[in-house]
Structure 1
Amino acid sequence: MPLDTAIRDALHASTTATLTTVLLKKGVRRAWMRGPQARFNAHERIVGEAFTLRFVPAREDLATPESWSSPRSTRGAIEDMPEGVICVADALGLQEAGIFGDILCARMKKRGVAGLVTDGPVRDGAGVRDTGLPVWCSGVAAPASVAGLTFVGWQEPIGCGGVAIFPGDVIVADGDGAVVIPQAMVEAVALAALDQERLEAWIMREVDRGVPLPGLYPPNAETKARFERESGGG
């Protein structure tokens, strides 16, 4: 099922910093991916369901330029990506090979993919920027993926940046990086994050007024009650 519009809007209004805090309160400590950084066309927050790609270490008989023509290739995976998904690629954190270049990113953009998140680098950096595809990655590298990785499949559980990601989980990425929200928790997290954003905006105004932090952040019962009154919530 496509992500509900109201839930998508709530997540789009929530920073990844807020989302990690909400997830922490719900018992999920590993949600922020190490490695992916806002690198290309990543000026705005993106939200979408995870479409996963999995690589394993290169094996010489399989990781070859000829493998790119196989039906089970990154090319085949891209043609299977629905509009609006965020491609999340497990590159094992390897920094010696770029998993995608400008042509593959251009095709993803043409198919309406919302963005690419990976714990490895991409190649053809200038060309990737020109495609307009939002990319969170660890950097750039000239060698092709087969120089260090073997592509093995898509839409299966992966690990990216030390975080477990399952197809259908929801990804939110912004200037602070990329966060995964377990599929079963998306609605609850989105609503809690929106409430947290409203509270913190109010707290920032209080800080600007010179209110001391003890009892304000985190808010005690008195502060919460005052927030409810002043924000129209009570």
Structure 2
Amino acid sequence: MTIDQRIIDTLSSVTTATLTTLLLKRGLRNVWIRGAKPLAPGLPRIVGRAFTLRFVPAREDLATPESWSSPRSTRAAIEAMPAGCIAVVDAMGVTDAGIFGDILCARMHKRGVAALVTDGVLRDVAGVLGTGLPVWSRGVAAPPSVAGLTFVNWQEPVGCGGVAVFPDDLIVVDADGAVVIPAALVEDIVQAAPEQERLEGWIMEQIEAGASLPGLYPPNEENKARYEAAKQGRK
């Protein structure tokens, strides 16, 4: 699950908004995880491989406090998480049962997990924030996970926030949320993303100078030529 530092460095400088545009141009419309918002302001942009976890609806014989000691539990899943991964938790959008609290998040942070992304909610929010683990979620709720969910497995395909996420897909999170880059497209996106950011930066410069949008965003042939000339002038 390790990532080349070049990929991390490149995508750490590219917004999730830009990434959704690039993926849209490649035919992928459904890559933004719905409901996953930064739990705290000011979190940095983070890049990591997806380590997936999956919950299903609570079933009374399985969703019990005793299940926390099972070999197939959130505790066991956390111990399998490699440093640098981003935990992506399919909680089916349930907002009245917290999937993790401060103790589990503290252990994840200690193991070097880069971030937690879920379409569900967390509990013990003050403690979670105190762990230092960056979290993207729908918010918070006091009840434990077993009040509404049954944990079933990890490292299998999941549907988080309406998006299909496979183990080892690349996840990028920032203030705009969480975006999934399919593993097979990572190199293509890494090659294209910096140029897209440069182009949009140049367009913003033109807007600030008073230029109008038609023919500029997106650029027509004339403005493409102007951009290329400006780019050469900066080299």
Which TM-score bucket, shorter chain as reference?
Answer: over 0.9
Q: Which amino acid aligns with 2:90?
A: D
In the alignment, structure 1 segments of 5+ residues that lack a partner are none
Secondary structure class of the residue paired with 1:108: helix
Moved over 4 A (4+): none
Indicate the residue corresponding to 1:142 in structure 2: 142
Is the Cα–Cα contact under 8 Å of residues 117 and 135 in structure 1 kept in the other structure? yes
In 1, Cα distance between equivalents of 2:71 and 2:222: 62
In 2, Cα distance between equivalents of 1:187 and 1:151: 33
Indicate the residue corresponding to 1:191 in structure 2: 191
Is the Cα–Cα contact under 8 Å of residues 32 and 178 in structure 1 kept in the other structure? yes
Shift of 1:38: 0.7
Indicate the residue corresponding to 1:56 in structure 2: 56
Cα-Cα RMSD: 1.2
Closer, same or farther: CA 108–81 of 1 in aligned 2, 3 Å: same
Indicate the residue corresponding to 1:31 in structure 2: 31
Is the Cα–Cα contact under 8 Å of residues 56 and 149 in structure 1 kept in the other structure? yes
After TM superposition, list the pairs within 5 Å mapping 1:43-192 onto structure 2. 43-192=43-192
Shift of 1:222: 1.4
Indicate the residue corresponding to 1:220 in structure 2: 220
**Once the two structures are superposed, what CA deviation does each residue of 1:162-198 show, in whole Å capped at 9, x if it has no partner?**
0000000000011111000000001111221211111
Secondary structure class of the residue paired with 2:53: strand
User: With structure 2 as the length reference, what TM-score do the two structures score?
Assistant: 0.97
Closer, same or farther: CA 85–155 of 1 in aligned 2, 3 Å: same
Shift of 1:40: 3.2
Shift of 1:42: 5.5
Closer, same or farther: CA 41–111 of 1 in aligned 2, 3 Å: farther
In 2, Cα distance between equivalents of 1:225 and 1:159: 43
Is the Cα–Cα contact under 8 Å of residues 86 and 113 in structure 1 kept in the other structure? yes
After TM superposition, list the pairs within 5 Å mapping 1:15-26 onto structure 2. 15-26=15-26
Q: Which amino acid aligns with 2:159?
A: G
In 1, Cα distance between equivalents of 2:101 and 2:146: 13
Secondary structure class of the residue paired with 1:153: strand
Closer, same or farther: CA 208–46 of 1 in aligned 2, 3 Å: same
Indicate the residue corresponding to 1:229 in structure 2: 229
Q: Which amino acid aligns with 2:108?
A: M
Q: Which moved more, 1:224-233 or 1:83-92?
A: 224-233
Secondary structure class of the residue paired with 1:83: coil
In 1, Cα distance between equivalents of 2:22 and 2:152: 34
Secondary structure class of the residue paired with 1:40: coil
**Once the two structures are superposed, what CA deviation does each residue of 1:131-186 show, in whole Å capped at 9, x if it has no partner?**
01000000000000000000000000000000000000000011111000000001
Shift of 1:205: 0.7
Is the Cα–Cα contact under 8 Å of residues 89 and 160 in structure 1 kept in the other structure? yes
In 1, Cα distance between equivalents of 2:52 and 2:204: 37
Identity of aligned residues (%): 68
Q: Which amino acid aligns with 1:114?
A: A
Shift of 1:211: 1.1
Q: Which amino acid aligns with 1:70?
A: S
User: With structure 1 as the length reference, what TM-score do the two structures score?
Assistant: 0.97
Aligned length in residues: 234
Closer, same or farther: CA 206–41 of 1 in aligned 2, 3 Å: closer
Secondary structure class of the residue paired with 2:39: strand
